[in-house]
Amino acid sequence: MSRTLPPDHPFIQEQKIGVLLLNLGTPDATDYWSVRRYLKEFLSDPRVIETPKWLWWPILNLAILSVRPQKAGHAYATIWDKERNESPLRVITEAQTRALAERLAGDGVVVDYAMRYGNPSTRSVLERMQAAGCQRILLLPLYPQYSATTTATANDKAFDALKTMRWQPAVRTAPAYFEDPKYIEVLGNSIRDGVAALPFEPELVITSYHGMPVDYLKKGDPYHCQCYKTTRLVREYLGWPEERMMVTFQSRFGPTEWLQPYTDKTLEELPKKGIKKVAVLAPAFSADCIETLEEIAMAGKESFLEAGGEDYAYIPCLNDSPAGMDMIETVVRRELAGWL
């Protein structure tokens, strides 16, 4: 293009294709103010908390943000990558970005990542990609199952940034991949291999998904159904009987009713029913984070053993494993069809 432009024409970057991985977010550190900034942004999102602002604002700012950052900061400190001084979520998402970039290097695709809450912000990364010449960008929210509280709000943030750009790139949004055959295959294999590597035989494998208020389901959010379908398809792929695997929901917040059965309550009740050996995984997460490493792997184990359980294991997320990256590459190449 540069050979056909007049000599005084402003420099124009060579046009490129970009892939932007979008994840939830993380505080920059474990101290009170870092966690408070993160929680305020997260809990101020109307996609996450649908309570009217006039009612929610004083509850959030006068009550929750006064005490919750200290408690959450302590939880983050138990899983923090002290060598990198970053949260596992950011470390793993960076690794996924590098691995995908290597796989797409031959196609000249630019790969980057951004966080819906915290840093690097979606706006800053989109602006950087556009300035680098990315005129076609695929947005890939790293959530296998769709929810307005995750996939939709990640895309919203990208759309907000696009609205302010003078030269706006063309964008595509990747759909949820909860039933994608490659995802089911890779997830199923990770469960089978994870169970086989344990020093005990689980009587039950629990697929623990992040929860959400029941009211969101009633308003039409498909997340609940997609979680159950993922587990059913994986169980069928493994050839397991229905009673070998169950669905639960974790991380509930506030006094309202959330999707059930609750993970924590289930772990407390299973030993009373004679089930004392379990393995747990979190298929709603593409990368291990505080909800998996602290809430499930640590607190969940403690609750289960205190309730009379004997053996407990957490099976990690797919993270940046070769198989996990095979799955992400499969989704990305399919969604880039016609651009590559």
> What is the largest distance, in Å, between two alpha-carbon atoms of the chain?
80
Asked whether residue 74 is marked as a ligand-binding residue, the answer is no
Tokens of 326: 């095979």
Distance CA 116, CA 120 (A): 9
Q: Is there a contact between 247 and 227 (Cβ–Cβ < 8 Å)?
A: yes
SS3 state of residue 136: strand
Nearest CA-CA partner of 301 in 273, 263, 274: 263
**Apex 265 CA angle, 44 and 81, nearest 5:** 55
Rg of the chain, C-alpha, whole Å = 21
Among positive and negative, which fits the CA dihedral 292, 293, 297, 298? negative
Alpha carbons 337 and 174: distance in angstroms, whole number: 12
Q: Which long-range contacts (CB under 8 A, 24 or more apart) does 49-53 make?
A: 50/213, 50/215, 50/216
Instruction: Read off the tokens for 212.
Output: 């959400």
Place of tokens 């024409």: 9
Is 291 annotated in a binding site? The answer is: yes
Task: Supply the DSSP string of 161-209, one letter for each residue.
Answer: HHTT-SSPPEEEEPPP-TT-HHHHHHHHHHHHHHHHTSSS--SEEEEEE
Mark the binding-site residues, compressed into ranges: 210, 291
Residues belonging to the binding site for Fe(2+) are 210, 291
